[in-house]
Amino acid sequence: MILITLALGLATVGLLYLLMSWNFNYWRKRRVPGPKPRIPTGNYPNMYNLKRNAIYDLNDIYVKYKNKYDAVGIFGGRVPQLLVVNPELARRVFVADFKSFHDNDIAKMIDEKTDFIFANNPFSLTGEKWKQRRADVTPGLTMSRIKTVYPVTNKVCQKLSEWVYKQIRLGATEGINAKDMSLCFTSEMVTDCVLGLSAESFSDNPTPIMGHIKDLFNQPWTFLLYFLAVSTFPSLSRLIKLRFVPPKVEHFFVGLMENAVQTRRAQLASGTQFERTDFLDYILQLAEKRNLDTRQLLAHTMTFLLDGFETTASVLAHMLLLLGRNPQEQQRLREEIQAHVKDGIVSFEKLNDLPFLDACVQETIRIFPPAFMSVKICTEAIELPNKDGPNFTVDVGTSVVIPHYCFMLDEDYFHQPQSFQPDRFMEPDAAKKFRENGTFMGFGEGPRICIGMRFATAQIKAAAVELISKFKIKVNPKTRNDNLYDPVSFITSLQGGIWLDLEAL
């Protein structure tokens, strides 16, 4: 009896081992070099213990292979992935060979039934549907619409500084939580700009909007479990899909949207609101053109809401951190701004034309890129060269990892990469040039480049102008001194948080 149990036990272990490792010769068969994978984590040793952000595991591989190859074969759990280690090849993936890498890997994990809103985001749409949606949404984010809502931006900036004055009066010795402050700013901005509603983020009694926005981003554990399960058993992604927007939150925003649309229509009908070419105006046009109901309209436009909050807030918070650590650069920025402030405001045209301000934003994105990597799916098989190694073919369905972090923080491309030196971006068109050689693609590149780039940068710049011209920024000693990323959060953030001490000037 004992023998049989033992034999069955061994057989089960053996089968599991086979199941976990049968794919491990995938890259060897294709003659793509790469590090030896392990059961059960593949090439991500910290996948389960979460001691360190996954990008550092990738960076270890990157450093070993980058001089001899363009790409290496790795495994996420059991799943083969191609890791691109040459920025020129990275750029090919985004631009020249876009046809072969058309869609984002996340599309495999999402469908309309489980998550109507996220599945309808251009980021997760695929093929022709993506093309149509992108064309639908892009005209909503033109420079002239961003300019139309600039007075709203200024109003929100004022609320931001009033809030900071209040914190100073209250004597916050613990420091101000920069991430929370920035999230209040972007939430207020987006709800006011898009829906014409105030989330009252900076008041003592924020509206439920704020709570629901936070709920959206406070569920990393659900995702983590899902990612772990799917990287061990990829076919699970066909059965179980990811739900990013919880039903409660979806319901809440549908209601909000209905309200905003009705209010605007009533205002237009009664003549109390003259036509305003803002985002809501665009949303109404779209509804008419495509004959959309509120839920569909919400799915189309949640893009403005969802994609903007966390990414933009993250860049703002880390920019304040880096300026706090570098008083000289902070003073230089203050002087550039003060030369153009009139009645507390910098004109919209000037805002987008302050070279040092722009350089500070770009340099922050280089050190703390909200998207530290992109993962694409191969949509059309392609043969690629591999420097010292033989050419190889990428098959349809393969996940392709572009580790932006590795290029942006590589000494070979950026001297003293961990230090904040906005001067790197002071030459005309510097950001564009770096983007063109693939070393700096913080907003992506090519046909799928971020559509919110200009909106995001305008918001970050407006908030920076407000804060830098009114306050001196220092970093509270509670904040760590290096640039270590949080191991769990899926948008880049400094481990332990950013705590600032602001002093009125």
Ligand X SMILES: *[C@@H]1O[C@H](CO)[C@@H](O)[C@H](O)[C@H]1NC(C)=O
Closest CB to ligand X among residues 343, 411:
411
Give residues 426-445 in contact with ligand X (rule: CB under 6 A). Answer: 433-434, 437, 439
Omega cis (within 30) before 487: no
- Which single residue is written with the structure tokens 């693939």? 438
Least spacing, CB of residue 459 vs ligand HEM, in Å: 7
Binding-site partner at residue 154 among ligand X, ligand HEM, none, CB < 5 to 8 Å by type: none
Least spacing, CB of residue 235 vs ligand HEM, in Å: 25
- Contact set with ligand HEM (CB under 6 A): 122-123, 134, 141, 303-304, 307-308, 311-312, 315, 365, 370-371, 374, 442-444, 448, 450-452, 455-456
Q: How far is CA 384 from the centre of its chain?
A: 28
Q: Which residues pair with 71 in a beta bridge?
A: 84
Least spacing, CB of residue 381 vs ligand HEM, in Å: 20
Nearest to 107 by CA among 130, 135, 83, 87: 130
Residues ≥6 apart with Cβ < 8 Å to 23: 75, 78, 79, 80
Percentages (nearest 5) of helix, strand, coil residues in the chain: 55, 10, 35
Per-residue x/- track, 370-409, ligand X (CB under 6 A): -------------xxx-----x------------------
Closest CB to ligand HEM among residues 78, 435:
435
H or E stretch including 399? Answer: strand 399-402
By CB under 6 A, is residue 411 in contact with ligand X? no
Q: Which residues pair with 73 in a beta bridge?
A: 82
Closest CB to ligand HEM among residues 20, 83:
83
The secondary structure of residue 70, as a DSSP letter, is S
By CB under 6 A, is residue 423 in contact with ligand X? no
Round to the nearest angstrom and report the end-to-end CA distance of the chain: 82
H or E stretch including 76? Answer: strand 71-76
Least spacing, CB of residue 279 vs ligand X, in Å: 34
Least spacing, CB of residue 268 vs ligand X, in Å: 48
- Which single residue is written with the structure tokens 């495994």? 75
DSSP assignment of 141-179 equals G-HHHHHHTHHHHHHHHHHHHHHHHHHHHHT-TT-EEHH
Closest CB to ligand X among residues 291, 391:
391
Cα separation, 103 vs 289, in Å, equals 27
Q: Which residues pair with 75 in a beta bridge?
A: 80
Give residues 273-292 in contact with ligand X (rule: CB under 6 A). Answer: none
Least spacing, CB of residue 34 vs ligand X, in Å: 19
Binding-site partner at residue 385 among ligand HEM, ligand X, none, CB < 5 to 8 Å by type: ligand X
Binding-site partner at residue 451 among ligand HEM, ligand X, none, CB < 5 to 8 Å by type: ligand HEM
Cα separation, 44 vs 57, in Å, equals 6
Cα separation, 474 vs 472, in Å, equals 7
Binding-site partner at residue 122 among ligand X, ligand HEM, none, CB < 5 to 8 Å by type: ligand HEM
Closest CB to ligand HEM among residues 387, 454:
454
Least spacing, CB of residue 318 vs ligand HEM, in Å: 10
Least spacing, CB of residue 352 vs ligand X, in Å: 21
Closest CB to ligand HEM among residues 438, 442:
442
R_g over Cα of the chain = 24
Binding-site partner at residue 123 among ligand X, ligand HEM, none, CB < 5 to 8 Å by type: ligand HEM
Site for ligand X, rule CB under 6 A = 383-385, 391, 413, 433-434, 437, 439
